A and B are shown apart, each in its own frame.
Chain A
Amino acid sequence: MEPDGDAARLGLGRAARTLPPRLLLLPLLPLLLGRGLRVVAAASSSGAAAEDSSAMEELATEKEAEESHRQDSVSLLTFILLLTLTILTIWLFKHRRVRFLHETGLAMIYGLIVGVILRYGTPATSGHDKSLSCTQEDRAFSTLLVNVSGKFFEYTLKGEISPGKINSVEQNDMLRKVTFDPEVFFNILLPPIIFHAGYSLKKRHFFRNLGSILAYAFLGTAVSCFIIGNLMYGVVKLMKIVGQLSDKFYYTDCLFFGAIISATDPVTVLAIFNELHADVDLYALLFGESVLNDAVAIVLSSSIVAYQPAGLNTHAFDAAAFFKSVGIFLGIFSGSFTMGAVTGVVTALVTKFTKLHCFPLLETALFFLMSWSTFLLAEACGFTGVVAVLFCGITQAHYTYNNLSVESRSRTKQLFEVLHFLAENFIFSYMGLALFTFQKHVFSPVFIIGAFVAIFLGRAAHVYPLSFFLNLGRRHKIGWNFQHMMMFSGLRGAMAFALAIRDTASYARQMMFTTTLLIVFFTVWIVGGGTTPMLSWLNIRVGVEEPLEEDQNEHRWLYFRVGVDPDQDPPPSNDSFQVLQGDGPDSAGGNRTKQESAWLFRLWYSFDHNYLKPILTHSGPPLTTTLPACCGLLARCLTSPQVYDNQEPLREEDSDFILTEGDLTLTYGDSTVTANGSSGSHTASTSLEGSRRTKSSSEEVLERDLGMGDQKVSSRGTRLVFPLEDNA
């Protein structure tokens, strides 16, 4: 997840790939000597004679090392140039308002093209075999020291290979170079994407639809996983009858496929929604579902892998093993959730009680490191880092974000946005590349067709029934057109791909990988491209212009004030208003505004507002008033002084608040953002007519908190300037 951190990790990955010195001899030689240890040297050749005078060899080795480093650079460069190309094309598309192809789709196309070139444009290298002998050992070590004619070489363990695959170690050097270790996706590329998703969840609508989102994410994923699994099992049976299946394919494999393919990732659709300002509820439902979906799918797939019945038949149903898997699912999920939430809370506390906000750089770095630590901590404890990072992102956005200085807010947002953007496009272009460079594809038409049918049925079987049930409870019903749209937006993306590529050792897994790849292509291009027509065909409200909403909100803001409005997290300085009227979150007015929200939400909201916010941020009512008297001391030490201050000098607070707001506004919209004098001068002038600015500034708060892409932000920036001028 992380920028330089990211770069650092990336680098780790990259350096790890740095190649061996001399090597270039051929593909492999199986040989066995000794009792248990067989050493097979897989070397790709370049026809160097291996046994030579040592001096010559030394030189040759150095040259090889340099050469391989160079090749690594070239392969990375390929990706970077691909991304550059993608960026330029995307700009062209956006510039001309072409919407049928999203940047991810484009990245895939470019990836495909390069894949074709690499596949058919570079010669395959081949080599000869040679035998070696070694001593014996009966377990695998992480490092191995090998004494080769007086020289010591150190080897590190890469992984276990199934014996059948020994001969298929890639022969084309270039193809091997552009193939990444699948763990790179999980350790480097996915975390920033997922964290960003969590960090930019539209909070208001997310919490309002919390119940539905959770239902879709958990129940929906489970339903879809089982339905796809069962359908695929039928397909596999069919293939067996037809004789197309050349290796084992168990029921658990089918379920595994169901789990990985249940991770939806409608980036494309969401980007279009965002651009067209489609209905916010629909957006929140889709986005929330897809984000949580990923988390559920990861954990689900790992618990399916962990399903190991005790008896002889390892693939029969076994209640004990089944419950163990369920237990693993719950354990990992809640463990990751806790871990993410805890680090989020720790960060919030640290930023609240130190004055780190005087140094935005330090603050940003701390924020980044803490978030990254979440991932590492979860991985180190055996939980799922990606899930932990997701919840960490949500917690950070909900609490820590409010404690950050204005500059850090924009820094963190932009930082993760850039990382997210790069990582996402990287993954998609890698997908395009993988179609041709991955060497173990198993294309099975029946399986692929079956999979396509299954995912659509699986999606249908989860969206429609669940929506029906949810509509029973919801006041704000999910319309048919929304349901159709949700059904339609079942795109598959980075997560499904990463899960599928993680393990491609067995025949079944390879077939799954190929199928997943094709499904991703199909859905991103076809379904993604069809979003705009679909939206208009389904008559879904688009162009829900922010201004409209603002007007609406504005009135609410004026009369109800923030305290009761779950709209967004009030920024810290905001609480004057909150305290003013926020003492009574259950006042009549309060309840009316959130008529549509479920009791779950209401319960959560009041708990959050009364206890969590005051503890973790500078906003909310002082804890001393909300906590029972017995913990008065604790309450006093946890409540930040600002909260008390907020209560009295309302007038000044007001202008002060506006000042910060102005700052904020400028930060986004203006060019002189660098938090130095110039924005200061603006603010100064703003403060003069401070009170009149309340309106626009509160709008700003609202908008800013939506936390969406900066395209919007920048356009807002320009808009923003007008109220400023007007008032002046």
Chain B
Amino acid sequence: MDGQQELPAGKGEHPFQHQGAVELLVFNFLLILTILTIWLFKNHRVRFLHETGGAMLYGLLMGLILRYATAPTDVQSGTVYECGKLAFGPATLLVNVTDHVYEYKYKREISQHNVGPHQGNAILEKMTFDPEIFFNVLLPPIIFHAGYSLKKRHFFQNLGSILTYAFLGTAISCVVIGLIMYGFVKAMVSAGQLRKGDFHFTDCLYFGSLMSATDPVTVLAIFHELHVDPDLYTLLFGESVLNDAVAIVLTHSISIYSPKDNPNAFDAAAFFQSAGNFLGIFAGSFAMGSAYAVITALLTKFTKLHELPLLETGLFFLLSWSAFLSAEAAGLTGIVAVLFCGVTQAHYTYNNLSSDSKMRTKQLFEFMNFLAENVIFCYMGLALFTFQNHIFNALFILGAFLAVFVARACNIYPLSFLLNLGRRRRTPWSFQHMMMFSGLRGAVAFALAIRDTESPPKQMVFTTTLLLVFFTVWVFGGGTTPMLSWLRIRVGVDLEEDQKEEPASHQEANNLGKNTTRAESAWLFRMWYGFDHKYLKPILTHAGPPLTTTLPEWCGPLSRLLTSPQAYGERLKEDDADCIVSQDELAMSYQEQSPSAGSPPARPGLGLDRSPSPPTPPNKENIYEGDLGLGGFELKLGPTPGPPPLN
């Protein structure tokens, strides 16, 4: 055709070709800047600003620049086209513009009052991600990593408390926030700030549920660095991880709560439907996640894939991702599936991996977690200015702050009281205060809030969530260190020290009967431990007693099939010692370097350790340390723990 017509079209198209490049570049630079700043902070041992806080700060600055320093560019892009004959929104739109046919893809529906902001600044528009990205791309690695690096020993010891905080606590906090917010909404209506009927009770509950997802990354990072009491750490970490899962499912169930006639009246049928939905989705996602992890564990156990760490890592990654996708495809919640997949992978598959793959997978997910987390926080900063439909309502925001604190208090103190009735090792007041204090909000709350910003109430919720996240991350995050010292919480609990006590007690325990050492653990834990040790571990990993001894007679062939030859080997050698070894294994951490074939050089000391004499402390320390599954940079610090300045 004639080149003249072609040229303008070609030029017009040019920007599309590199669509995204510039925006991504901006994020990249922000992250690079964040990394350098963080390095500077770490180098100078400044602890009041965590990297996520830094990322938010930079995002905020960038948002400010983008908002006020860029001119509206494509004025016409906001023109609304009327299309009388189009009665629905098709997936693909072919538009014929003077003989050039362009293909348009459906992006989303915009509600009427939001059309305005779309007319104008194309840069702001471009810097806005599709909210689904958070759920499909950024959150999964974060959540998986959280599951993959749960400190197993302490986690299982505190299982009961953690589950209580996560399930009951979240439910309580959701209801309390919902109720308080409903009160404020009523007040706003009477104050004339809000039209009646705009903000339903379900919206309040929705806000409550998304606000219940706590995410104390900042606090946890500091805890880790200062070696705070592992029990407190586990409680907080376990709670926050499971919390997220509960909050996500809860939010989903609330959003589908739709009574038949009056959308705001209580309807028992709809309520039970929602509750059933909650249970169904949660259980389904849990099953899906664990199923994939079990498959991975079996695959890695029965193939000799550990000869090729690259393939092993690839397999691990792909199967974990499949858990997410399968759950999504089945209509469940991928994030929850991925969380439990991570926990199960860490508990079983990890033991079957070659040492190289262990490191690789850990580092891979750690890296992905780091990037995704910082991207999200950076985007939060950015969104404060680039998101175009903010609704700032002072009363609502104030109410939200109040509600969040009250709800956190209603969740921690009563539950801790109840739990203390049952726990032998009580959760002291200082821990409770600290848990109360660490109710930070983070990525999950943000992602849930940004998912739906169509209606004004949802936009108000989003704005408020954003502000809450900022406030909690900066203020609470920054105040962690002073708070710790003020509450006189034990810091610098050297893991080694902790460790030394443990093995010794275990030795005795073995002589007396192992239950005595677990004095503090609940029956739930003991039951689970017995089952896990006798059946699951032998089936899924190379460790544990051979199944032939634990399973009843009639499934003999099956158990022979499932037991790995190594299990017999150990068994035959020294029955007692074996028991001790696997005992340590559990105590030490879920992953002592299990005797996977093919990595003999990896275990310099094990041959000796297997003798009934107490294992040599240095070796165990290493194993233990290696197991924490936390940041490599922290590990580096470990050997030279600068005594925390607090004491």
Contact = CB atoms under 8 A, between A and B. Distances in A.
A37 interface: yes
A40 B118 CA distance: 23
B93 A155 contact: yes
A90 B309 CA distance: 13
A15 B110 CA distance: 18
A32 B18 CA distance: 31
Nearest to B355: A671
B371 A8 contact: yes
Nearest to A718: B601
A310 B7 CA distance: 12
Contact of B95 (A37, A83, A314, A414): A37
A694 interface: no
Contacts of A414: 313, 360, 363-364
Given A88-B299, A369-B35, A20 B625 contact: no
B355 A11 contact: no
Contacts of B321: 80
Nearest to B356: A714
B189 interface: no
A368 B14 CA distance: 27
A376 B633 contact: no
B309 A710 contact: yes
B25 A355 contact: no
Contacts of A133: 83-86
Contact of B96 (A32, A74, A77, A155): A32
A497 B79 CA distance: 39
B114 to A, nearest CB: 8
B204 to A, nearest CB: 22
Interface stretch (A229-237, A359-367, A443-451, A602-610): A359-367
Interface stretch (B128-136, B404-412, B530-538, B544-552): B128-136
A154 B107 contact: yes
Interface in B168-215: none
Nearest to A711: B308
Interface stretch (A143-151, A432-440, A560-568, A587-595): A143-151
Nearest to A82: B318
Contact of B367 (A42, A83, A365): A365
Interface string A367-386: 01110110011011010010
A151 B89 contact: yes
A259 to B, nearest CB: 19
In which size bucket is the chain B interface?
A: 35 or more
Given A356-B39, A379-B18, A711-B310, A157 B104 contact: yes
Contacts of B527: none
B14 to A, nearest CB: 8
A340 to B, nearest CB: 15
A680 B74 CA distance: 60
A12 interface: yes
A148 B110 CA distance: 11
A84 B318 CA distance: 7
Given A145-B81, A714-B356, A709 B310 contact: yes
Interface string A120-157: 00000000001111110111111111111111111111
Interface stretch (B26-34, B60-68, B148-156, B415-423): B26-34
Contacts of A149: 86-87
Given A135-B81, A145-B115, A373-B25, A41 B90 contact: yes
Contact of A8 (B9, B77, B137): B137
A362 B636 CA distance: 12
A507 interface: no
B325 interface: yes
Interface in B586-601: 593, 599, 601
A339 interface: no
A539 interface: no
Contacts of B315: 84, 87-88
A201 B109 CA distance: 49
B621 interface: yes
Given A80-B318, A133-B85, A677-B639, A146 B35 contact: no
Nearest to A354: B39
Interface string A695-726: 00000000000000111001001100100000
A442 interface: no
Contacts of A38: 94-96
B19 interface: yes
Chain B CB count within 10 A is highest, among A4, A18, A31, for: A4
Given A5-B371, A95-B304, A671 B599 contact: yes
B308 A156 contact: no
Given A160-B101, A669-B601, A4 B141 contact: yes
B106 interface: yes
B635 A676 contact: yes
Contacts of A163: 96, 99, 101
B303 interface: yes
Contacts of B364: 3, 414-415, 418
A681 B605 CA distance: 12
A37 B311 contact: no
Contacts of B31: 365, 369
A702 B102 CA distance: 55
A144 B81 contact: yes
B98 A91 contact: no
Contact of A421 (B303, B314, B354, B355): B314
A672 B593 contact: yes
Contacts of B260: none
B443 to A, nearest CB: 14
A36 B355 contact: no
Interface stretch (B326-334, B484-492, B576-584): B326-334
Contact of B39 (A9, A355, A407, A714): A355
A22 B96 contact: no
A676 B626 contact: yes
Contact of A14 (B16, B107, B136, B621): B136
A414 B354 CA distance: 14
A152 B454 CA distance: 12
Nearest to A153: B89
A541 to B, nearest CB: 26
A30 B13 CA distance: 23
A84 B322 contact: yes
Contacts of A669: 601
A385 B24 CA distance: 13
B638 A676 contact: yes
A159 B79 CA distance: 20
B111 to A, nearest CB: 7
A369 B622 contact: no
A158 B92 CA distance: 9
Contact of B36 (A11, A20, A350): A350
A668 to B, nearest CB: 8
B244 interface: no
Nearest to B258: A59
A33 B86 CA distance: 12
B633 A359 contact: yes
Interface string B339-367: 00000000000000011101110111011
B76 A80 contact: no
Interface of A: 3-5, 7-12, 14-16, 18-25, 28, 30-33, 36-44, 50-51, 57, 61, 66, 69-71, 73-74, 76-77, 80-81, 83-84, 87-88, 90-92, 94-95, 130-135, 137-163, 166, 169, 183, 187, 308, 310, 314, 350, 354-356, 358-362, 364-366, 368-370, 372-373, 376-377, 379-380, 382, 385, 407, 410-411, 414-415, 417-418, 421-422, 669-678, 680-682, 709-711, 714, 717-718, 721
6 contacts: A19-B106, A95-B304, A161-B102, A163-B101, A417-B310, A676-B638
Interface of B: 3, 8-9, 12-22, 24-25, 28-29, 31-32, 35-36, 38-39, 42-43, 74, 76-112, 114-115, 118, 122, 125, 130, 132-133, 136-138, 141, 299, 303-305, 307-311, 313-315, 317-319, 321-322, 325-326, 328-331, 334, 354-356, 358-360, 362-364, 366-372, 375, 593, 599, 601-604, 618-619, 621-623, 625-626, 631-633, 635-636, 638-639
